[in-house]
A = this chain, B = another copy of it.
Amino acid sequence: MARPTPLSGFPEWLPDGRVVEQHVLDTLRRTFELHGFAGIETRAVEPLDQLLRKGETSKEVYVLRRLQEEAGEGEPARAAQLGLHFDLTVPFARYVLENAGHLAFPFRRYQIQKVWRGERPQDGRFREFAQADIDVVGAGELPYHYEVDLPLVMAEALGALREIGLPPVRVLVNNRRVAEGFYRGLRLTDVDAVLRSIDKLDKIGPDAVADLLVAEAGATPEQARACLDLAAISGGDAGVVDRVRSLAAAHGVESELMEQGLAELRQLVEAAAVRAPGVVVADLKIARGLDYYTGSVYETVLVGHEQLGSICSGGRYDTLASDGNQTYPGVGLSIGVSRLVSRLLSAGLVRATRGVPSAVLVAVTSEESRPQSDAVATALRARGVPVEVAPTAAKFGKQIKHADRRGIPFVWFPGEDGDQVKDIRSGEQVAADAGSWAPPAEDLWPRVVPAEG
């Protein structure tokens, strides 16, 4: 077998990269659990017809078939075909319907799993990647305050990563009702076309968007200008709401829907300013997702790295799921973990202090005395110290080199007249007892720290 090459779009980390990813996952999990989100996992596959309910995603789905089906079973009916999930929302909605009788609503869950998209792998686009989602779903109704809570939970989870070097985050929020109410108040009826045009603002600039609005959303130049003026509004306090109202008044827009959205937006911005000052900013140009979310919509950028785009997005669905009798409204956000970790690593923002768990390598004096080294390791592990025993009874210099190559900070030498332990970074060596010695807390487990320089 020749040396294999990586598959484009399917990222894998070396052990020290995995330490970083695991730290990120553990940190997210802890924050989610502190907020009472139950962890669930769903199967990786869903019936293909469920995955394809939204046509736009159809190109991205990986379809499965059992290899033996090739040998004559024929193509199964589409309804029986399975595909890999491309997000965690579709499977969660299905899980809620399937288990509704066993869940207490509002049901809050987090879910950290791989998802797959058969897209052409491009810069930062993966075909397999981990997502970390939180959602709250209600049975029949879901109070608005969850639209305030959930982005703040995500901001807190991402904020907990600042200690390893993640830049601060800013959550940008918009509201479907504000946008739709404003556009309809302007007498623009193709709301989705307006949103699609506005979504291109960062890419093509306001003049080209104005042209698009005229060409594709049936806007007059004046209507297009009003849409662009709305998109230009942003801010972290309730002044935003006043500016939208002034703009609406200037264009003769009157809309109950807009007023409802503005009341929500005000509540979100005001509550967030109390609970997490400076984190949440209303930004009326956020259009992505407004076509399928029904209330708040969120994007999250790293301050100073805005050009990387949103690392955590989501919003409110009035109908996350429905079984005909009951609808289940929901609100949630999703972090693209692999993308985030990939950026942290490739930008050299963070590093792991080592790639192996072991804090100590126990040296082996001779193969006959290996049981003595094993006993030291057992004693240290019993007190929670991660340890491995040297692979061979090589010369001590070679055993130390083995520890060094693996990034293990301490080497333990069992001795007939008592044991010694050496910090191979400083060279300091002291007498030690396996029943009481422990490494300094910062050396006990691998840590993730901001990379220098």
- Chain A interface residues (CB < 8 Å from chain B): 1-7, 10-15, 18-19, 21-22, 33-45, 47-48, 50, 52, 58-68, 70, 82-84, 94-95, 97-100, 102-104, 106, 108-109, 114, 116, 118, 128, 138, 143, 145, 149, 271, 274-275, 321-324, 355-358, 367, 370-371, 374, 378, 381, 384-389, 391-392, 402, 405-406, 445
**Shortest distance from the beta carbon of A154 to any chain B beta carbon, whole Å:** 15
Given contacts A104-B405, A149-B389, 7 further A-B contacts (CB under 8 A): A2-B323, A18-B39, A19-B38, A33-B386, A34-B386, A61-B67, A62-B65
B61 near A63 (CB under 8 angstroms)?
no
B387 near A34 (CB under 8 angstroms)?
yes
**Shortest distance from the beta carbon of A25 to any chain B beta carbon, whole Å:** 10
On chain B, the residues within 8 Å of A50 by CB distance are 4
User: At the interface, is chain A mostly helix, strand, loop or mixed?
Assistant: mixed
**Shortest distance from the beta carbon of A360 to any chain B beta carbon, whole Å:** 9
Question: How many copies of this protein are present in the complex?
Answer: 2
B357 near A106 (CB under 8 angstroms)?
no
A59 near B68 (CB under 8 angstroms)?
yes
Smallest CB-CB A-B distances: 4 pairs: A36-B388, A66-B118, A36-B358, A33-B357
A5 near B98 (CB under 8 angstroms)?
yes
On chain B, the residues within 8 Å of A43 by CB distance are 7, 10-12, 128
B64 near A357 (CB under 8 angstroms)?
no
Q: How far is the CA of A292 from the CA of B275 in the complex (A)?
A: 60
B324 near A2 (CB under 8 angstroms)?
yes
**Shortest distance from the beta carbon of A364 to any chain B beta carbon, whole Å:** 9
**Shortest distance from the beta carbon of A178 to any chain B beta carbon, whole Å:** 22
On chain B, the residues within 8 Å of A358 by CB distance are 36
A-B contact list, 7 entries, CB within 8 Å: A12-B40, A36-B388, A38-B357, A44-B114, A60-B67, A62-B64, A104-B402
A275 near B374 (CB under 8 angstroms)?
yes
On chain B, the residues within 8 Å of A324 by CB distance are 1-2
On chain B, the residues within 8 Å of A370 by CB distance are 145
Q: How far is the CA of A5 from the CA of B1 in the complex (A)?
A: 43
**Shortest distance from the beta carbon of A312 to any chain B beta carbon, whole Å:** 20
Known A-B contacts A4-B94, A65-B62, A275-B378; the reply to A357 vs B40 at CB < 8 A is no
Known A-B contacts A58-B67, A62-B64, A104-B405; the reply to A42 vs B118 at CB < 8 A is no
A386 near B102 (CB under 8 angstroms)?
no
On chain B, the residues within 8 Å of A100 by CB distance are 3
Q: How far is the CA of A34 from the CA of B39 in the complex (A)?
A: 25
**Shortest distance from the beta carbon of A20 to any chain B beta carbon, whole Å:** 12
A145 to chain B: closest residue by CB = B370
A42 to chain B: closest residue by CB = B12
B7 near A381 (CB under 8 angstroms)?
no
On chain B, the residues within 8 Å of A381 by CB distance are 34-35
A101 to chain B: closest residue by CB = B3
**Shortest distance from the beta carbon of A145 to any chain B beta carbon, whole Å:** 6
A1 near B114 (CB under 8 angstroms)?
no
**Shortest distance from the beta carbon of A128 to any chain B beta carbon, whole Å:** 5
On chain B, the residues within 8 Å of A114 by CB distance are 44
Q: How far is the CA of A109 from the CA of B356 in the complex (A)?
A: 9
B357 near A37 (CB under 8 angstroms)?
yes
B15 near A109 (CB under 8 angstroms)?
yes
**Shortest distance from the beta carbon of A447 to any chain B beta carbon, whole Å:** 13
On chain B, the residues within 8 Å of A6 by CB distance are 98
Q: How far is the CA of A108 from the CA of B355 in the complex (A)?
A: 11
On chain B, the residues within 8 Å of A108 by CB distance are 356, 388
Residue in contact with A386 in the complex, picked from B35, B68, B83, B355, CB distance below 8 Å: B35
Q: How far is the CA of A388 from the CA of B94 in the complex (A)?
A: 24
A143 near B357 (CB under 8 angstroms)?
no
On chain B, the residues within 8 Å of A104 by CB distance are 402, 405-406
